[in-house]
Amino acid sequence: QKLAAKAAKGQAGTAEVKVKTRSVGKRVLQVQATPQRTPGDCVLTFRDVTEIRSLDAVRRDFVANVSHELRTPISIISANVETLLAGAVSDPAKKRHFLEVIEGNSQRMSNLVRDLLDLARLEAGAYALEPRQTDLAEPVGKVLDLMDTRARERSLQIDIDLEEDLQAW
């Protein structure tokens, strides 16, 4: 109403409004008000931007999650390098352990970056999916390995009950 009143006085404007209707539920509308030649007249154009705003929110959440997922291995690598530089490099067993942790987290970051590049290609339509049957034991095992340390730190136990030779496309 405020937008229409301003347009009726000759001032164009745009706004987004959230509306809720019985028939379509919650929607986000972009409203553009354009004054007309006849004083007091205006044209209001409504554009449903609900899906666009929803995708924007998904993208923001995705970027936040990826940032967190990258920050974790970077922190672990930094802590292990600091420990090695502080003297652990002279103990062969400790040195090997810290280097293995660094290697694992470097690989984790590399996988995340590769996945991000794949997603970018997929969005651009330059990535062809090649569906194939996959045994779920390996990826489930990898996730379990990643989560095991965090679970133990919180005194949690993760149990996996997976059918033998369970396949997925």
Tally of CB atoms within 10 A around 24 = 10
Asked if the model's pLDDT at residue 1 lies above 80, the reply is yes
Asked if the model's pLDDT at residue 57 lies above 90, the reply is no
Residue 72 CA from chain centroid, whole number: 15
| pLDDT at residue 103, rounded to an integer | 94
Q: Which amino acid is at 151?
A: A
| pLDDT at residue 150, rounded to an integer | 81
**Average pLDDT, stretch 155-160?**
87
**Average pLDDT, stretch 23-39?**
92
Mean of all residue pLDDT scores within the chain: 88
Asked if the model's pLDDT at residue 42 lies above 90, the reply is yes
Task: Note if the pTM is more than 0.75.
Answer: no
Q: pLDDT grade, residue 27 (50/70/90)?
A: very high
Asked if the model's pLDDT at residue 152 lies above 90, the reply is no
pLDDT in tens, 158-168: 888 888 888 88
| pLDDT at residue 144, rounded to an integer | 87
- For CA atoms 61, 64, 70, 75, the dihedral sign is negative
Structure token pair of residue 140 = 């489930």
Phi and psi for 57 in degrees, rounded to 5? Answer: -65, -40
| pLDDT at residue 151, rounded to an integer | 86
Which range in 10-24, 51-65, 139-153 is most confidently predicted, on average pLDDT? 10-24
- 140: closest CA among 118, 119, 166, 111? 166
Greater model confidence, 18 or 124 = 18
Q: What is the 3-state secondary structure (H, E, C) of the chain?
A: CHHHHHHHCCCCEEEEEEEEECCCEEEEEEEEEEECCCCCCEEEEEEECHHHHHHHHHHHHHHHHHHHHHHHHHHHHHHHHHHHHCCHHHCHHHHHHHHHHHHHHHHHHHHHHHHHHHHHHHHCCCCCCCCCCEECHHHHHHHHHHHHHHHHHCCCCCCCCCCCCCEEC
**In the chain, pLDDT over 70 holds for what percent of residues?**
100
Tally of CB atoms within 10 A around 54 = 11
